[in-house]
């Protein structure tokens, strides 16, 4: 028996996410009983990373601003995943979980998930290839701020 794929509403169209189902099947996204207890702590880490990224950009440290902005988004996404009672074991699968859980229900805009994907690529470039620039860092920090703000709104609804 074949099971159905996760679905996401994207620009008014339903899209299948077989990659997300693969993450679940491979144990890269798992139920995590202690998740709800970690929501506040994880959100605090996201906020701290955002503040640090903002300080780094003022100091013209674009490499660290890029890395910190990504991690602000990462921890905000992780907050949202914990809020649903899950844990990730892959940055890639965390992004897919955001699409499946939050874009699919209309809580998170797809553009913010796409910003998270871009931030991941920019962070990897800054970390592993020493490629970064002021403009990308500034845009990333702005997007990270939106992502963190969205996470705060979601977990505050209870």
Contact 93, 20 (CB under 8 A): yes
Q: Which pLDDT value is given to residue 32?
A: 95
Q: What angle do CA 131, 77, 100 make, to 5 degrees?
A: 110
- Encoded tokens for 33: 């009983």
- Encoded tokens for 77: 């996404």
List, for residues 41-82, the tens digit of each pLDDT value: 999 999 999 999 999 999 999 999 999 999 999 999 999 999
- Encoded tokens for 31: 């139920």
Measured distance CA(155)–CA(87) in Å, rounded: 16
Average pLDDT over residues 1-18: 50
- Encoded tokens for 143: 């997007």
Q: Which pLDDT value is given to residue 18?
A: 82
Average pLDDT over residues 80-108: 93
């Amino acid at each position: 028996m074949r099971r159905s794929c996760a679905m996401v509403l994207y620009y008014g169209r339903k899209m299948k996410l077989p990659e997300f189902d693969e993450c679940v099947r491979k144990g890269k996204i798992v139920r995590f009983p202690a998740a709800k207890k970690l929501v506040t702590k994880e959100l605090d880490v996201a906020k701290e990373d955002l503040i640090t990224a903002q300080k780094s950009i003022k100091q013209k440290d674009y490499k660290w601003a890029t890395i910190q902005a990504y991690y602000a988004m990462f921890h905000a996404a992780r907050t949202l995943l914990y809020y649903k009672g899950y844990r990730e074991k892959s940055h890639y699968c965390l992004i897919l979980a955001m699409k499946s859980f939050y874009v699919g229900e209309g809580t998170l805009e797809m553009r913010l998930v796409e910003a998270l994907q871009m931030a991941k690529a920019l962070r990897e470039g800054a970390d592993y290839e020493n490629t970064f620039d002021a403009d990308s860092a500034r845009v990333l920090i702005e997007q990270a701020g939106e992502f963190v703000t969205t996470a705060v709104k979601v977990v505050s609804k209870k």
